[in-house]
Structure 1
Amino acid sequence: MKEVKIECILQAYDDFDELPTEVASLMTKASEARGKSYSPYSNFSVGAALLLDNGEIITGNNQENASYPSGLCAERTAIYYAGSQYPDAKIIRMAIIAGSNIRPTMSPIPPCGACRQAIAEYEVKQNEPIELYFMGETGKVVRSESLANLLPLLFDKSFL
């Protein structure tokens, strides 16, 4: 047996003010999208914003349903809209802001497993990394240069 070590390298900004201007602008769009979230069951709202290589910015937010599996996360709402409206565009960057509607959320919140898989699909499809930034309502912002850092053993079409 051989032990295999997998590492991911992330960068952490102390707060929103440390971000490059273009990233801060995208995070602001994600925050605005979060404000439109429909999350009456979990009281946990999420906003996402994508920058496409054609200059378009696509936003999404989580949409819940009393039949829980019928809802959709913010990241997938945005990424699927981008895929349906701009099928040839590449996703350059994704910004995510998430948090509880009941208490302050200051820890960075990464995409859930299902969203990681969906983002991975597009990263593999475009054969270029998608830069990710994520945070809670306030506090640190984490940057990953690629979804592969968050899902290093991803499942993709090469297995089918």
Structure 2
Amino acid sequence: MKEVKLETVLEVYENLQELPESIQALMTTAIEVRNSAYSPYSKFNVGAAILMDNGEVVAGSNQENASYPSGLCAERTAIYYANAKYPNAKMQIMALSASSQTKVTDKPIPPCGACRQAIAEYEIKQNEPIQIYFMGAQGKVVKSASLANLLPLIFDNSVL
């Protein structure tokens, strides 16, 4: 038997104002699009904004459905739209903001497992990491230099 230790390195910023201005702007887009979320069931709004290497910003919010599995998270809404609109551009930075309509969300909220898998697919496709910044409605912001920090044992096409 061999024990393997995995390590995750993240940067934690005390608040939005501590971020570089360009990241503040991207996060502001995520916050704004969060308000367009359709979340009548969970009452949980999420916004995602992606900076592409061509300078474009693509945004998306979560969209729910009474048939719960038919909804889509903000991260996947944005990432799929980004690839549909700019299939040859690379995704450089993703900013995420989540808020609850029923309580204060002041802790950083990372992507769910399904979204992590989708982000992993595009990191592999473009052979470059996607920086991910995430926060609640207020408070600290966490930066991951790559999805691999959030999902270290990636399931990818090499196993198919």
Shared fold per TM-score greater than 0.5 = yes
- The residue that corresponds to 1:133 in the other structure is 133
RMSD of Structure 2 on Structure 1 (CA)? 0.4
Question: For 2:159 and 2:87, how far apart are their aligned partners in 1?
Answer: 23
Q: Secondary structure at the match of 2:80?
A: helix
Pairs within 5 Å for 1:69-80: 69-80=69-80
- Could you tell me how far apart the structure 1 residues matched to 2:57 and 2:101 are? 25
Deviation at 1:103, TM superposition (A): 1.0
TM-score computed with the length of structure 2 as normaliser: 0.99
- In the TM superposition, what whole-angstrom CA distance separates every residue of 1:95-141 from its partner, at most 9, and x where no partner exists? 00002111110000000000000000000000000000000000000
Runs of 4+ in structure 1 deviating by more than 2 angstroms, as ranges, are none
Aligned partner of residue 50 in structure 1, secondary structure:
strand
- Provide the residue aligned with 1:53 in structure 2: 53
**Equivalent in the alignment of 1:19:** 19
Partner in structure 1 of residue 96 of structure 2: 96
Question: Is structure 2 residue 108 aligned with structure 1 residue 108?
Answer: yes
| Letter of the 1:81 counterpart | Y
The percent of aligned pairs where both chains have the same amino acid is 66
1:34: Cα distance to partner? 0.1
- Name the structure 2 match of 1:33: 33
The size of the alignment, in residue pairs, is 160
